[in-house]
Structure 1
Amino acid sequence: MTSMAPSSTTTGKTDDLLFRKISWRLLPVLCLCYVFNYLDRTNVGYAQLQMKEHLALSDAVFGIGASIFFVGYALFEVPSNMLLARIGVRATLLRIMGLWGLASAAMMFVATPTQFYILRFLVGVFEAGFAPGVLYYLTLWFPRRRLAQATALFFMAFSLAPIVAGPTAGAIMTWLDGARGMRGWQWLFVLEGIPCVLLGIMAFATLPDRPEQAGWLDDAERDRIAHLLRADAPTSTTHGGGGVRAAIRDARVWVLGFVSFLVILGIYALAFWKPTLLKGMGLSIMQVGLVATIPAACGVAASLLIGRHSDRTGERRWHFAIAALVAAVGLMLTTLFPKDPLPAILCLTLVSIGTSSAFTVLWSMPGGILTGQRAAAGIAIISTVGGSAGMVAPAAVGAIKAATGSFTLSLYLLSLALVLAAVILVTWFRPRDAGPVVEGSIQAR
């Protein structure tokens, strides 16, 4: 009797179960960490609603303080990610989250602009390497045909975090203002900083560095993962070898980094200044926190739907471009309603839908370019270039608002940046980028 080899359908279903199991083991912890990562880097946007009055900080001072975070972040991003490749994710997350949590909580002691600048810089230094480190970590577990979905699920936390950020900040700053002699903004930094230390300990205790160290996988499952990852390995050094130097020489890395920079300009400008924009329309701090959840929730839903459709069709360029253009239109329309909350919220919802979806699709692309040590360096470079928008956006918006008295010019400039991002991605990468996800191929013109 001749034995029958397992069919491709059976193998596919078995792999689906395997990677669903991996996703449920890894992604909840990573996503929770990412939510607090977002909270601790952007909570100053809500805190400043009380800080500026309490500490007599100007819009320009706040803008510089919000931006200087990203100076520290950019300087230490690549070194942190290269260290992760050597010592593993468990030790890296423990270091990153423990230090950034303590530095963020220490923001409660700020009394002068100089102290504000120093602590924001240190929070950036300690957070450096978190997101690109996780992206590299995912490449150790998921083959390229499944990496886009895992990446999208992880970045869903980035879209989900604003839903938590607004009501949480509003409640803390309203209900705890004056408790034990502390202002609400001080409680905000403490209650969103200390949990990061605990999450770092939890990540260290629960996340294995590699599949071969996962006690919840059996030998057959570990072998299957190793086989799929080996099948993904490039046959030449075109995509995988060379580490930092090869990643630096890869033009595609810099193009994706610049496109990310243009998108993140809008994301961070709104993250830090949206509370002020809404408060200027006559809303209370609690109302600002609650209203801010509407664009965020719509952004999460849109990123999941558009990310899933992009995965199913294998098309990236136009999914990204259309999403970026939707965000650009939303920003331009927002300028028409400087004092009217309802239409302004609808316009900001378009912005959130566009930026969240564009960001998700964009970050599904690097996994098809790089592998191995080159992936660690390349992802860190893309993240560093993109994240450097945080140095520009809050300070620039603050300076423009101080000079003009409104957000109108800033919103127009951010809209143009999104249009430019769409044009660059569509024209630089070939249509074959819309090919099957299983190939994970991204070729530049």
Structure 2
Amino acid sequence: MASIATTAAVCGSDDRLFRKISWHLLPVLCICYVFNYLDRTNVGYAQLQMKEHLAFSDAVFGLGASVFFIGYALFEVPSNMLLARIGVRATLLRIMCLWGLTSAAMMFVATPTQFYVLRFLVGVFEAGFAPGVLYYLTLWFPRRRLAQATALFFMAFSLAPIVAGPTAGAIMTYLDGVHGLRGWQWLFLLEGIPCVLLGIMAFATLPDRPDDARWLSDDERATIRSLLRGEAPGPAGKSHGGVRAAMRDMRVWVLGFVSFLVILGIYALAFWKPTLLKGMGLSIMQVGLVATIPAACGVAASILVGRQSDRTGERRWHFGISALVAAAGLMLTTLFPHDPFPAIVCLTLVSIGTSSAFTVLWSMPGGILTAQSAAAGIAIISTVGGSAGVVAPAAVGAIKAATGGFTLSLYLLSSALVLAAVILITYFRPRSALAIEPSLAETR
């Protein structure tokens, strides 16, 4: 009985410690991620005025949206390798200041070439942010707690669309023409400059490692070191070994491909949903407000599904069912091309499914990657998955230009989500390295 009481007391103490860590790290990281999402996808709202003002075709816009991800994919792994050497504070300062200034410079775009170049540079400068944060979390949370921390960080990804729609709608509606600037120009300026300030704030408030955290006591630092013993990244000179180990791990590539299939739907909708809704007769402001409904439901669903997945230790079916719900939503959307209400219901199903699937998916790498391969493996998964951003906007734009609508695109995106569910469920067997149980066993 004494042993049980002691174990319970230790677990309770650990719970308090990691809640403390979460409150010190995650709010800053989540706010940064919200603006990361805004600067990545605000072009989807801006194009509602840009195409009219600059005479850009759907094909030009689609290609410009995709060019972002070419720069992002090329520099993702190098950025994460640099983070492992110089620390998160310097990395976030570099990434956020450069991407914020470049995103704000989008307000000066006047030609397709300028559009392509600046979108490429925004991608280059943003590269490494999300996988860098995921690697950063491995320095603070042991594997049995990493899934929850990862899920909490990705809540910002689901929360961001709630902010994005009304903010973009209000800026483009009420600031259009102020000081001679169009609404889309104000959008890029007002969502780009805060990133510079956030980068400075992250540099000032986030410690690189637990040993650098002044708000931790000596005993708390010792506890974290004890829990992470054997999981800490190797010395900088071994980083290439970590890259090689991650590249040889087929599970990393499978997760990357599954992420690719899910992100096809996420980014295609992020960039083209405003156009889809506007085509149903909604104003720009209405589009921004209506877009919050699917996003809010996605946040709630991802919290519930992520918590249930953590509680049961099951990943495959939580991901698979979520992906299939999203696929069904996309298929049903094709039935209501001109009716906003049922279309929003269907898009809500898509958001519920993709948000939940994405959260569960990113709780998996921490269970299969060794500490030495964590930075490289997470970057590879993110790069492979993020490359969907190269394909999705351009492909949807080209298909829309060729067919005059979104129906064929929605069918293809739905099929991709079904394939993602099938691959993950069949490839990763129960109690594989992706299951939580082995990690939990380490604590017993």
String of CA shifts for 1:253-287, please: whole Å, max 9, x gaps. Answer: 00000000000000000000000000000000000
Does the 8 Å CA contact 1:144/1:439 hold for their aligned counterparts? Answer: no
Ranges in structure 2 where 5+ consecutive residues have no aligned partner: 234-238
Q: CA deviation at 1:369?
A: 1.1
* 2:210 pairs with 1:211: yes
In the other structure, the counterpart of 1:278 is: 277
Long gaps (5+) in structure 1: 235-239
What is the CA-CA distance between 1:438 and the residue it aligns to? 5.2
| Preserved CA contact (<8 Å) 1:316 1:433 | no
- Verify: 1:228 aligned to 2:227, yes or no: yes
1:408 corresponds to: 407
Q: How does 1:28-427 map to 2 (within 5 A)?
A: 28-230=27-229, 232=231, 242-427=241-426
Q: TM-score, normalised by structure 1?
A: 0.95
Q: CA deviation at 1:437?
A: 2.5
Shift of 1:231: 5.4
| SS of residue matched to 1:406 | coil
Residue 213 of structure 1: how far off its partner (Å): 0.4
Change (3 A) 1:89 1:232: closer
Q: Partners in 2 of 1:414 and 1:435 — Cα distance?
A: 26
Residue 246 of structure 1: how far off its partner (Å): 1.1
Structure 1 residues 172 and 21: CA distance shift in structure 2, 3 A:
same
- Tell me, in whole angstroms, the C-alpha distance in 2 between the residues paired with 1:437 and 1:421: 21
**Letter of the aligned partner of 2:74 in structure 1?**
L
Residues 104 and 233 of structure 1: CA distance in aligned 2, closer, same or farther (over 3 Å):
closer
Give the direction of change, closer, same or farther, for the CA distance of 1:104–1:349 in structure 2 (3 Å limit). same
* Structure 1 CA distance for aligned equivalents of residues 404 and 439 of structure 2: 47
* C-alpha separation in 1, matches of 2:251 and 2:45: 36
Measure how far apart 1:407 and its partner are: 0.0
In the alignment, is the contact (CA less than 8 A) between 2:329 and 2:347 conserved in 1?
Answer: yes
Please state how far the C-alpha of 1:97 moved relative to its aligned partner. Answer: 0.1
Alpha-carbon distance in 1 for matches of 2:98, 2:362: 26
Given that residues 307 and 360 in structure 1 are in contact (C-alpha distance below 8 angstroms), is that contact kept between their aligned partners in structure 2? Answer: yes
Letter in 2 for 1:205: A
**CA displacement 1:57-110 (0-9 Å, x = unmatched):** 000000000000000000000000000000000000000000000000000000
Q: Are 1:42 and 1:271, in contact at CA under 8 Å, matched by a contact in 2?
A: yes
Aligned length: 435
Superposition CA RMSD, Å: 1.7
Q: Does the CA-based 8 Å contact 1:317-1:433 persist in structure 2? A: no
Closer, same or farther: CA 132–4 of 1 in aligned 2, 3 Å = closer
> Match for residue 236 of structure 2?
none
**Identity over aligned residues, as a percent?**
85
How much has 1:430 moved relative to structure 2? 1.0
Residue 159 (structure 1) shift: 0.2
Query: Take 1:373 and 1:136, find their aligned partners in 2: how far apart are those partners?
Result: 11
Whole-Å separation in 1 of the counterparts to 2:232 and 2:189: 45
Q: Distance in 1 between matches of 2:271 and 2:7?
A: 49
Task: Map Cα deviations across residues 284-342 of structure 1 (whole Å, 9 max, x no partner).
Answer: 00000000000000000000000000000000000000000000000000000000000
Q: 1:221 to 1:5 in 2, by over 3 A?
A: farther
Distance 1:82 1:371 in 2: 15
User: How far off its partner does 1:242 sit?
Assistant: 2.6
Q: Would the aligned equivalents of 2:367 and 2:435 in 1 still touch at CA under 8 Å? A: no
**What SS does structure 2 have at the residue aligned with 1:386?**
helix
Does structure 2 conserve the Cα–Cα contact (< 8 Å) formed by 1:314 and 1:435?
A: no
Matched, 1:23 2:17: no
| 1-structure distance, mates of 2:267, 2:64 | 13
Residues 99, 195 of structure 2: 8 Å contact kept: yes
What secondary structure, in the 3-state scheme, does the structure 1 residue paired with 2:397 have? helix
Contact 2:38 2:164 in 1 (8 A): yes
Give me the whole-angstrom Cα distance separating, in 2, the residues matched to 1:287 and 1:29.
Answer: 30
The separation in 2 between residues aligned to 1:87 and 1:99, in whole angstroms, is: 17
